[in-house]
């Protein structure tokens, strides 16, 4: 019997989905989590139970562990009020690493200008490497506008590995 079939059989023994208690409710907005399998991932039911305790429905928890088993990666959403550090701690013992979206802090005008300065680039040069209009970068650095989360992720990636971002954004000229 395949591992996925065994998991389905164990879940079926737990009872029908409509008999499952609803997940706990929390106040606050949703928080996206990325789960990555880090080992053998043998305690799938325990992972599903822990995800349920964090506010996922039984269906969402099942989908997450199925994706973890198949691809090693799953994305799920929990309520902001869930104890994410405790969830991450518990799942780490079950061969699952938890990543959460970054907060809005650490991505302001000073951060962006600091990244650019650390790499010795003018606004025009930095904008070219990021593939954006120089006026957009200037507006971010002067606090008139804020970059979206994807742009901030690109800036953080450039700060950590400028050669990789440059290679991905630019092509050789010859």
Q: Which of the listed CATH numbers 3.30.1390, 2.60.120, 1.20.1330, 3.40.50 matches domain 3-100?
A: 3.30.1390
Q: How many CB atoms lie within 10 A of CB 30?
A: 14
Phi, psi (deg, nearest 5) at residue 17: -65, -35
Question: What is the DSSP-derived secondary structure letter of residue 17?
Answer: G
pLDDT for the residue numbered 19: 45
Q: What is the pLDDT of residues 101-126, one digit of tens each?
A: 766 555 677 889 999 999 999 999 99
Q: What is the pLDDT of residues 43-75, one digit of tens each?
A: 999 999 999 998 898 999 999 999 999 999 999
Chain position carrying tokens 């957009």:
136
Residue 75 bridge partners (DSSP): 34
Residue 32 bridge partners (DSSP): 77
User: Hey, where are the domains in the chain?
Assistant: 3-100, 109-169
Q: Indicate the helix (H) or strand (E) that contains 126.
A: helix 123-130
The second-level CATH assignment, the architecture, of 109-169 is Orthogonal Bundle (1.10)
- pTM of the entire predicted model: 0.57
């Amino acid at each position: 019997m395949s591992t996925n079939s065994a998991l389905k059989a164990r879940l079926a023994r737990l009872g029908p989905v409509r008999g499952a208690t609803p997940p706990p409710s929390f106040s606050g907005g949703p928080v996206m989590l990325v789960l990555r399998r880090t080992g053998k991932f043998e305690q799938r039911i325990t992972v599903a139970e822990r995800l349920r305790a964090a506010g996922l429905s039984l269906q969402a928890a099942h989908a997450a562990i199925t994706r973890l088993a198949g691809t090693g990666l799953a994305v799920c959403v929990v309520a902001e009020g869930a104890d994410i550090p405790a969830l991450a701690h518990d799942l780490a013992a079950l061969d699952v690493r938890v990543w959460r979206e970054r907060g809005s802090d650490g991505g302001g005008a000073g951060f962006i200008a600091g990244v650019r300065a650390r790499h010795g680039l003018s606004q025009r040069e930095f904008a070219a490497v990021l593939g954006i209009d120089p006026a957009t970068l200037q507006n971010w650095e002067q606090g008139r506008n804020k970059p979206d989360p994807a742009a901030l992720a690109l800036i953080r990636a450039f700060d950590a590995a400028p050669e990789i971002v440059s290679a991905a954004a630019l092509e050789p000229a010859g």
